[in-house]
Amino acid sequence: MGTRYLIIGNGVAGITAAQEIRAHDPAGQITIIGDEGKPYYYRASLSEWIAEDSTTEQTYARTTGFYEAMRIENVTGRVDRIDAERKQVSLESGDQTPYDKLLIATGASPNAVPIAGLEDPMAYRTWDDARKIKEHVDPQTNVLILGGGVLGLELAGALVEIGTRNIAIVQLLDFLGPPLLDEHAGRWLERRIRADGLTLFLGDTVERVEGQVAHLKSGKTRDFDLFVQSVGVRPRYPEVPGLETGRAVRIDEHGATNLPDIYAAGDCTETCVRSQGRWQPTRIWLDCARQGRVAGCSMAGVDASLTEYPFLNASILYDIHYAYIGDPNAEGGVAHILENDRAYRKVRLVDGNLAGAMLMGDRRGMMPMYRAIGLPVAEYGDVIARSDFPWNDLTGKDWEYLFF
Amino acid sequence: MKWDGSEFEASLKHIADFGLDNCIGANDCMRACPVNRLNVNQNELDSVMVSGVWTERVQTFVTECVQCGDCTLACPAGVHRDHMMLMLKAMLPSIPRSWKLYYNVKGRQDQQLLISLSNIVGRLKVGPLGKHVDKANLEHKSLLFYFGCYIFSPSKAPAATLQLADRLGLDYEVLAGVRSCCGWPQYLTGKMGYGQQMLTHLETLINKVAPKVIVTGCAECYAGLVRLRKKTGASWTPLTTPEWLLQHADKLSWRRFDTPIAIHDSCHITKKLGKPDPARQLLARIADVVEIAESPEDCVCCGYYNIHANRDLNHQLHEEKLALVAEKGAEGMACECVTCWESFAEPFKEAGVPLWELMVAAELATRGGA
């Protein structure tokens, strides 16, 4: 009988780990436990589904035949307890599943701010959340979104696309899009969103709700039919006696926890940034996948470690394509900025070397720019913020990738 | 230097892994694809890539992918879906017969006799240009025209390019024939090893000339040269034919055509290598330039590299292009890449719409001396 691999979490980290395990151990038994009753799907494409750009099928990251083709057993259930000594996981249904190697890839849950008078606030993270929101909206619906961060703006963008314009966003900070956007980029996006007729309450929050009316801290009021909270997420993971945690499950560079044969990956983890001596929570899809790869290799007995990559996050904010590369908001250095109605591009140099970039509206050059982090570029001056700057020439002999 | 198909495939694997990890499921790649007639989803491609279990739909789609790069431009997450498609081409469990015929000769270092034969037959076909085919004694020259296998094309661009160089009084060497193929036809049909062999051999041939500048009128050859230079760090500079001619444009006297002409962007040069301007600047010397797409990157692909897999599909692309040319009021279209020209030649001829090769148009417009 092959090694029994048990993975808790049917998301990007869990599936990516399973893929690696299967690549390295054809005989292993792989079981994935998910609690949503859905195959592995893209969270970011839920907004496309709400906007009716994607079908349900298209939000799934793999086909229905994938689990069978990979010989992965997919179980729907909720984990009640992990017994690290007996190497056994108990489900809420009462089922017991033994394992040889365990991966905790349980992700994160949306934060909920307690608001007087608001019962059962709606969140926006899972398939169920998206379905509920979709059931409640039509073009006339009066929507209030608490939180002007990435997810709140993504939802607003999707609703606008299906004709819902009566949308208000309440944001505690006085600009949109943190932590990705700085104030300047936030203002750029703000103009765009206001032009679509949305109402923004910046530097404000909801204090209490009476019936279908939200009372804001500023004294203003806003009616709503649908109230969605989108105020960040927090890691979630099962309680395991002896498991080392900070704000999340702590893992080493091989994806291992402090307990034998228990690994973790994805949004439920934090990793040590040795150069800065601090623990950093895992925040983005790409990092979750990379951790899944490393954990999967380690579980299958293949040597692999997490590397400190420059940060990369590229997606759609509201309806704007953006890329956040490296550290565009690094302290010190020089920022070259190009701004017009279509695009906002900020490229930061520290000590004459490329430190990072924030690109909105026009992300041309983003991948070669990502590879150029750390290269000396001071001699080029302002033109490096332009979208036609030849980054490819700069990374000329770097052949690791084919990008051009 | 180890430089075979395995290295290329490892490089593709690297890109594919990044793509699998960073894909956010927007499916914009598949919506942007001009040849996705089966409405294949991105998740179908990724499932095949990871599991190795093929479906008929995916196999057909991978065969028909023209490598235009529209998917990659559309991706919000910076995923190179085009290279992921190359990887799938390399993984194909079986390939169309027409592809097999295609690389019976091309890319086969073990078929020297066949290559020599096809070069001899080709030489007879191309008349005076034949002397440049498969040349045994390549001379040291600072300017090298690289026509590769497209010297055998019905294209008049190679002859026009050399006429222009002669008019400018330049000294040059020419590299042409099947033996100096750039390797792209092999990559595009999934034979990475054959492609790498060709490019390695091309390097040997180029070194015999030791040029400072290499000029080519084929987008795939140009992409091949860019790869070769990136890999080897060679000191020569690759130029497209319009880039080269623009450097000498002021030495020639130009006559303008009195009809507005549309510009077609090649996928490799505009979408993948980001050089939409030279072709426009050159055409602007000859005629009023008509833009037929919202931006150069939105240009409809010629479909050529759907190598014989589905001609009907290519026909749709050609119809779309002809409609755009008519709609925008252009009285003809110009191409900088010989592959695009070849792909469009027949349908444009049938429709009675002039199709210009930029070098041929430039040669005509500058008759009357330097």
Chain B residues closer than 8 Å to A323 by CB? 78
Predicted pLDDT of residue A404: 41
Band of pLDDT at residue A403, cut at 50, 70 and 90: very low
Distance, in angstroms, between A71 CA and closest chain B CA?
Answer: 10
Domain count within chain A: 3
Q: How high does pLDDT run on average in chain A?
A: 93
Q: Which long-range contacts (CB under 8 A, 24 or more apart) does B44-49 make?
A: B44/A63, B45/B84, B45/B85, B45/B88, B46/A61, B46/A62, B46/B20, B47/A62, B47/A63, B47/A65, B47/A66, B47/A69, B48/B88, B48/B91, B49/B16, B49/B20, B49/B84, B49/B87, B49/B88, B49/B91
* Among the listed residues B318, B4, B367, the one whose alpha carbon sits nearest the alpha carbon of residue B167: B367
Predicted pLDDT of residue B370: 52
Nearest-by-CA chain B residue for A395: B230
**pLDDT per residue rounded down to tens, chain B (370 residues):** 345 667 788 888 888 999 999 999 999 999 999 889 899 999 999 999 999 999 999 999 999 898 888 999 899 998 999 999 999 999 999 888 877 777 777 767 777 888 888 888 888 888 899 999 988 899 999 999 999 989 999 999 999 999 999 999 999 999 999 889 898 888 888 888 888 888 888 999 999 999 999 999 999 999 999 888 888 889 999 999 999 999 999 999 999 999 999 999 999 898 888 889 999 999 999 999 999 999 898 898 898 877 666 778 888 889 999 999 999 999 999 999 999 999 999 999 999 999 999 999 999 999 975 5
Chain A residues closer than 8 Å to B44 by CB? 63
pLDDT digits (tens, 9 = 90+) for A67-106: 999 999 999 999 999 999 999 999 999 999 999 999 999 9
Predicted pLDDT of residue B2: 46
Taking 60 as the threshold, does the pLDDT of residue A34 lie above it?
Answer: yes
Cα separation of the two ends of chain B: 45
User: pTM, whole model, 2 decimals?
Assistant: 0.92
Cis status, amide bond into A179, omega within 30 of 0: yes
The beta strand positions in A128-193, using DSSP E, are 143-146, 167-171
Contact assignment for B47 to A388 by CB distance below 8 Å: no
Nearest-by-CA chain A residue for B78: A367
* Among the listed residues A154, A168, A193, A165, the one whose alpha carbon sits nearest the alpha carbon of residue A49: A154
Indicate the burial class of A375 (C-beta count within 10 angstroms; 0-12, 13-18, 19 or more).
middle
Structure tokens given for B257 = 């055509």
Specify whether the CB–CB gap between A383 and A389 falls below 8 A: yes
Chain A residues closer than 8 Å to B231 by CB? 397, 399
DSSP A85-104: TTTEEEETTS-EEE-SEEEE
Distance, in angstroms, between A174 CA and closest chain B CA?
Answer: 27
Predicted pLDDT of residue B146: 98
Please check whether residues B107 and B71 belong to one and the same domain: no
Nearest-by-CA chain B residue for A393: B230
Give the SS3 label for residue A4. strand
Please check whether residues B242 and B259 belong to one and the same domain: no
Please check whether residues B146 and B221 belong to one and the same domain: yes
Please check whether residues A227 and A249 belong to one and the same domain: no
Integer angstrom CA distances of residue B338 from A215, B356, B360? 67, 10, 11
Taking 60 as the threshold, does the pLDDT of residue A229 lie above it?
Answer: yes
Taking 80 as the threshold, does the pLDDT of residue A399 lie above it?
Answer: no
Give the other-Cβ count within 10 Å of B108's Cβ.
Answer: 17
Please check whether residues B141 and B229 belong to one and the same domain: yes
Distance, in angstroms, between B22 CA and closest chain A CA?
Answer: 5
Taking 70 as the threshold, does the pLDDT of residue A401 lie above it?
Answer: no
**Can you give the CATH number for the domain in which A335 is found?**
3.30.390.30
Contact assignment for A58 to B25 by CB distance below 8 Å: yes
Please check whether residues B77 and B147 belong to one and the same domain: no
Domain count within chain B: 3
Indicate the burial class of B195 (C-beta count within 10 angstroms; 0-12, 13-18, 19 or more).
buried
Q: In terms of residue numbers, what domain contains B12?
A: 5-94
* Nearest CB neighbour to B15, from listed A12, A397, A401: A401
Predicted pLDDT of residue B6: 75
Chain B contact present for A397, CB below 8 A = yes
Give the SS3 label for residue A347. strand
Give the separation between CA A396 and CA A393, rounded to whole angstroms: 5
Give the separation between CA B208 and CA B201, rounded to whole angstroms: 11
* Nearest CB neighbour to B51, from listed A41, A66, A403: A66
* Among the listed residues B227, B204, B224, the one whose alpha carbon sits nearest the alpha carbon of residue B216: B224
Give the separation between CA B227 and CA A401, rounded to whole angstroms: 11
Predicted pLDDT of residue A169: 98
Nearest-by-CA chain A residue for B11: A401
Integer angstrom CA distances of residue A299 from A244, A288, A334? 19, 16, 44
Please check whether residues A182 and A99 belong to one and the same domain: no
Please check whether residues A244 and A99 belong to one and the same domain: yes
Q: In the predicted model, what is the mean pLDDT of residues A268-283?
A: 91
Chain B contact present for A393, CB below 8 A = no
Predicted pLDDT of residue A227: 96
**CA dihedral sign, ordered A381, A383, A387, A390:** negative
Band of pLDDT at residue A36, cut at 50, 70 and 90: very high
Cβ contacts of residue A83 below 8 Å, gap of 6+? A89, A90
* Among the listed residues A319, A346, A323, A322, the one whose alpha carbon sits nearest the alpha carbon of residue A333: A346
CA angle B275, B277, B280 (to 5 degrees): 135
Chain B contact present for A324, CB below 8 A = no
Chain B residues closer than 8 Å to A60 by CB? 43
Q: In the predicted model, what is the mean pLDDT of residues A133-157?
A: 95
Contact assignment for B14 to A400 by CB distance below 8 Å: yes
Chain B residues closer than 8 Å to A57 by CB? 41, 43
Is A116 domain-assigned? Answer: no
H or E, element range at B200 = helix B192-209
- Pairs of residues, one from chain A and one from chain B, whose beta carbons lie less than 8 Å apart: 119
Is B370 domain-assigned? Answer: no
Please check whether residues A272 and A246 belong to one and the same domain: yes
Please check whether residues A143 and A220 belong to one and the same domain: yes
Please check whether residues A38 and A18 belong to one and the same domain: yes
Predicted pLDDT of residue B49: 96
**Can you give the CATH number for the domain in which A173 is found?**
3.50.50.60
Please check whether residues B31 and B80 belong to one and the same domain: yes
Contact assignment for A315 to B77 by CB distance below 8 Å: yes
> Mutate which of A21, A43, A45 to test chain B, going by most B C-beta atoms within 10 A?
A45
Please check whether residues A200 and A248 belong to one and the same domain: no
* Nearest CB neighbour to A61, from listed B46, B227, B231: B46
Predicted pLDDT of residue B3: 52
Predicted pLDDT of residue B4: 63
Cα separation of the two ends of chain A: 47
Among residues A231, A261, A290, which one ends one of the domains? Answer: A231
Among residues A231, A251, A269, which one ends one of the domains? Answer: A231
Predicted pLDDT of residue B103: 72
Please check whether residues B208 and B318 belong to one and the same domain: no
Is B286 domain-assigned? Answer: yes
Please check whether residues B86 and B63 belong to one and the same domain: yes
Chain A stretch 62-91, residues whose beta carbon is closer than 8 A to a beta carbon of chain B: 62-63, 65-66, 69-70
Structure tokens given for A244 = 């080392």
DSSP A31-76: EEEESSSS-SB-GGGHHHHHTTSS-HHHHBSS-TTHHHHTTEEEEE
Contact assignment for B46 to A45 by CB distance below 8 Å: no
Among residues B94, B129, B155, which one ends one of the domains? Answer: B94
Chain B contact present for A263, CB below 8 A = no
pLDDT digits (tens, 9 = 90+) for A190-227: 999 999 999 999 999 999 999 999 999 999 999 999 99
Please check whether residues A328 and A386 belong to one and the same domain: yes
Please check whether residues B86 and B214 belong to one and the same domain: no
Contact assignment for B25 to A363 by CB distance below 8 Å: no
Predicted pLDDT of residue A75: 96
Specify whether the CB–CB gap between A153 and A318 falls below 8 A: yes
Contact assignment for A402 to B226 by CB distance below 8 Å: no
Chain A residues closer than 8 Å to B21 by CB? 12, 16, 285-286, 289-290, 293
Please check whether residues B111 and B158 belong to one and the same domain: yes
The beta strand positions in A224-378, using DSSP E, are 226-229, 233-235, 249-251, 262-264, 269-273, 278-281, 312-317, 320-326, 334-339, 344-350, 353-360
Contact assignment for A290 to B80 by CB distance below 8 Å: no
* Nearest CB neighbour to B50, from listed A19, A321, A398: A19
Give the separation between CA B64 and CA B56, rounded to whole angstroms: 12
pLDDT-above-90 percentage for chain A: 85
Q: In terms of residue numbers, what domain contains A145?
A: 122-231
Contact assignment for B25 to A70 by CB distance below 8 Å: no
> Mutate which of B24, B54, B86 to test chain A, going by most A C-beta atoms within 10 A?
B24
Contact assignment for A402 to B83 by CB distance below 8 Å: yes
Chain B residues closer than 8 Å to A398 by CB? 230
CA angle A38, A44, A49 (to 5 degrees): 70
Residue type, A221: T
Chain B contact present for A26, CB below 8 A = no
Among residues A179, A210, A231, which one ends one of the domains? Answer: A231
Give the separation between CA B201 and CA B175, rounded to whole angstroms: 12
Is B177 domain-assigned? Answer: yes
ipTM of the complex: 0.93
Give the separation between CA B278 and CA B359, rounded to whole angstroms: 12
DSSP B298: G
Contact assignment for A314 to B77 by CB distance below 8 Å: yes
Predicted pLDDT of residue B314: 84
> Which is more confident, A119 or A343?
A343
Q: Chain B residues contacting A, CB < 8 Å?
A: 11-12, 14-15, 17, 20-27, 41-44, 46-47, 50-51, 53, 55, 76-78, 80, 83, 223, 226-227, 229-231, 233, 272-274
Contact assignment for B41 to A58 by CB distance below 8 Å: yes
Specify whether the CB–CB gap between B232 and B203 falls below 8 A: yes
